[in-house]
């Protein structure tokens, strides 16, 4: 399906809303959350080499291994890029089971405890459009930690011109906004203000136009992830 100009205009508005563009500050650990987009690996490598943190934890299971990678998990695919960039293996910790953002936080906390680490400040590297929901998840999962978000520096136009299909990108944007509203209402996440109704309507427009691959409601798995597991 080829999006209409009006669809792209709506998607651009959602892109701007979902990104936070927080200033980067030094952290104890860089956390890289997995998925289909290896832009998180490039951004994490840049931050590491800039001296933002000395340790990197990569979290992600087998659900959305990036296209073209021979790795069996998202985390391993990202770790390969980080190592190729010059990050030493002893500077990496790898969590290979998480299947959603709540599990990224929970299982990362478990791994850090196993390593005898109790860091207080984190810089999480996410996909650009997942920043807002990830920070809202952090408020719920790690309320006593200093968590900031960052992502690859890329414009919406350049992201569309990249390797990820446009239909998938628009579906992800619609799904992010719909999830943000649904998860906030269910208590899965803690947002600082309600999702503006115009953005919810825009996301539903994209979903109803056929960009619905990710535009579903909260799942029982996500609810279970929150209710059955401890915070850090």
If pLDDT is split at 50, 70 and 90, which confidence band does 213 have? confident
* pLDDT exceeds cutoff 80 at 5: yes
Burial of 51 (0-12, 13-18, 19+ CB in 10 A): exposed
Neighbours of 113 (CB within 10 A): 11
What's the confidence (pLDDT) of residue 231? Answer: 61
Domain assignment present for residue 45? The answer is: yes
In sequence order, which ranges of the chain are alpha helices (DSSP H)?
Answer: 5-18, 39-49, 74-84, 101-114, 131-141, 156-160, 166-186, 197-208, 220-227
Domain assignment present for residue 69? The answer is: yes
pTM (whole model) above 0.75 = yes
Percent of the chain with pLDDT over 70: 92
For residue 109, give the nearest of 151, 53, 163, 147 by alpha carbon: 147
Q: Write out the residue range of the structural domain in which residue 115 sits.
A: 5-227
If pLDDT is split at 50, 70 and 90, which confidence band does 224 have? very low
Least confident stretch, 9-23, 114-128, 206-220:
206-220
If pLDDT is split at 50, 70 and 90, which confidence band does 214 have? confident
For residue 80, give the nearest of 32, 127, 113, 128 by alpha carbon: 32
13-43 tens-digit pLDDT = 999 999 999 999 999 999 999 999 999 999 9
CATH of the domain at 17: 3.40.50.620
Domain assignment present for residue 195? The answer is: yes
Domain assignment present for residue 232? The answer is: no
Q: How many domains does the chain have?
A: 1
61-77 tens-digit pLDDT = 999 999 999 999 999 99
What's the confidence (pLDDT) of residue 139? Answer: 96
If pLDDT is split at 50, 70 and 90, which confidence band does 140 have? very high
Average pLDDT of the segment spanning 141-168: 97
Pairing outcome for strands 146-151 and 56-59: unpaired
Domain assignment present for residue 174? The answer is: yes
Average pLDDT of the segment spanning 187-201: 95
Burial of 229 (0-12, 13-18, 19+ CB in 10 A): middle
């Amino acid at each position: 399906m080829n999006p209409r100009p009006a669809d792209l205009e709506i998607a651009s508005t959602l892109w701007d809303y979902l990104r936070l563009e927080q200033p980067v500050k030094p952290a104890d650990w860089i956390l890289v959350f997995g998925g289909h987009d290896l832009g998180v690996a490039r951004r994490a490598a840049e931050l590491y080499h800039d001296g933002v943190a000395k340790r990197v934890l990569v979290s992600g299971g087998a659900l959305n291994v990036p296209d073209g990678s021979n790795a069996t998990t998202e985390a391993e695919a990202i770790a390969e890029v980080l190592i190729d960039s010059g990050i030493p293996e002893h500077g990496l910790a790898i969590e290979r089971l998480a299947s959603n953002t709540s599990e990224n936080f929970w299982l990362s906390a478990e791994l850090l405890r196993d390593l005898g680490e109790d860091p207080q400040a984190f810089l999480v590297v996410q996909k650009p459009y997942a920043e807002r929901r990830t920070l809202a998840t952090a408020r719920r999962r790690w309320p006593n930690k200093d968590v900031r978000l960052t992502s690859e520096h890329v414009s919406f136009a350049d992201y569309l011109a990249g390797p990820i299909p446009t239909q998938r990108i628009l579906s992800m944007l619609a799904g992010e906004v719909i999830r943000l509203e649904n998860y906030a209402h269910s208590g899965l996440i803690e947002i600082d203000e309600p999702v503006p109704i115009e953005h919810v309507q825009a996301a539903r427009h994209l979903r109803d136009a056929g960009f619905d691959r990710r535009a579903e409601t909260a799942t029982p798995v996500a609810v279970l992830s929150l209710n059955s597991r401890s915070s850090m």
